[in-house]
């Protein structure tokens, strides 16, 4: 059996760069622009949560890695439930003509203050979660780009070898064809290019390089 993964690797790298370069830049701009605005982070997280899983928005795809977890979903559900409570309290206050039910005035007004505080707290907590998660995932994305860059160097080295009419992959790739060592208490079986030193964990298959063939 022979195998060459250069073309496949190059295709994966190009696809990754095309898909995530713009997304990484968008995340960076959003974080920098809203650094002190946690509500904006909550809102973008809630938008991604409500959007379809099959959305073509790559920013939402990145957000979906954590906003669809139980923690953020529970915060959004609590915020929506609290909004209904606040509407009910306001309706109750309007049913008492002549009574000042503005925030902080009377029992309905006091409830409005409490619910408004809850709403603000939920959005701040949720916003902090989304912000920190975005920063973490952006850092991982940068690390992935660095890994891709190292692989790309290998691709460029192969292209250079081609230009210089050198045989790409000339390094020793014959480890699968080397007879493995065995202990005195082991049996050695050889068949169809495979090696097996008694135990299944010692199984070795000879895989040759097909690059430039």
- pLDDT value of position 176: 47
Percent of the chain with pLDDT over 90: 31
* Residue with the larger pLDDT of the pair 65 and 155: 65
What is the domain partition of the chain in residue ranges?
2-163, 175-209
Are the CB atoms for 72 and 126 separated by under 8 Å?
yes
Cα separations in angstroms, 165 against 39, 170, 174, 201: 59, 12, 22, 40
Q: Does 62 or 208 have the greater pLDDT score?
A: 62
More confident residue, 161 or 15: 15
Order across the sheet with 204-205: list the strands. Answer: 188-191, 194-197, 204-205
Q: Where are the alpha helices (DSSP H) in 164-208?
A: none
SS3 26: helix
β-sheet bridge partners, residue 3: 209
Q: Express as a percent the part of the chain with pLDDT over 70.
A: 68
pLDDT digits (tens, 9 = 90+) for 153-210: 877 777 777 777 655 445 544 444 555 566 676 665 565 555 555 555 555 555 566 6
**pLDDT over 60 (residue 34):** yes
Length of the chain: 213
The tens digit of pLDDT for each residue in 117-144 reads 999 999 999 999 999 999 999 999 888 8
Please provide the distance, in angstroms rounded to a whole number, between the alpha carbons at the two ends of the chain. 13
Average pLDDT over residues 78-90: 84
b/e sequence 112-122, b meaning 16+ C-beta within 10 Å: beebeebbeeb
Question: Can you tell me the distance from the alpha carbon of 113 to that of 107, in angstroms, rounded to the nearest whole number?
Answer: 10
* Per-residue DSSP letter, 123: H
Q: What's the confidence (pLDDT) of residue 197?
A: 54
Asked if residue 183 lies in contact with residue 199, where contact means CB atoms within 8 angstroms, the answer is no
Average pLDDT in the 60-75 region? 93
Task: List CB contacts of 62: < 8 A, sequence separation 6 or more.
Answer: 23, 27, 134, 137, 141
Q: What is the predicted pLDDT for the residue at 82?
A: 86
**CA atoms of 130 and 47, how far apart (whole Å):** 12
* Ramachandran angles phi, psi of 30, nearest 5°: -65, -45
Tokens in use for 172? Answer: 């020793």
Q: How many C-beta neighbours within 10 Å does residue 85 have?
A: 15
Q: How far apart are CA 1 and CA 177, in angstroms?
A: 11
Q: What average pLDDT does the segment 89-115 reach?
A: 70
Express each pLDDT in 146-157 by its tens digit.
888 888 887 777
* Run of H or E including 142: helix 106-163
Q: Which has the minimum average pLDDT: 10-19, 31-40, 107-116, 188-197?
A: 188-197
């Amino acid at each position: 059996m022979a195998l060459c993964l250069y073309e496949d690797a190059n295709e994966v790298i190009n696809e990754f760069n095309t898909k995530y370069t713009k997304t990484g830049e968008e995340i960076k701009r959003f974080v920098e622009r809203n650094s002190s605005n946690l509500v904006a982070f909550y809102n973008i997280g809630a938008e991604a949560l409500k959007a379809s899983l099959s959305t073509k928005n790559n920013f939402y795809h990145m957000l979906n890695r954590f906003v669809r977890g139980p923690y953020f979903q529970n915060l959004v559900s609590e915020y929506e439930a609290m909004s209904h409570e606040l509407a009910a309290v306001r309706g109750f206050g309007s049913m008492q003509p002549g009574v000042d039910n503005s925030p902080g005035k009377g029992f309905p007004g006091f409830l409005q203050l409490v619910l408004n505080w809850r709403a603000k707290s939920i959005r701040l907590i949720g916003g902090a979660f989304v912000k920190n998660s975005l920063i973490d995932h952006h850092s991982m994305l940068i690390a992935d780009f660095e890994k891709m860059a190292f692989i790309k160097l290998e691709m460029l080295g192969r292209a250079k070898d081609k230009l210089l009419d050198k045989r790409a992959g000339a390094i020793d790739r014959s480890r699968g064809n080397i007879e493995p060592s065995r202990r005195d208490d082991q049996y050695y079986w050889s068949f169809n290019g495979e090696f097996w030193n008694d135990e299944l964990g010692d199984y070795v298959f000879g895989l040759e390089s097909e690059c430039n063939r």
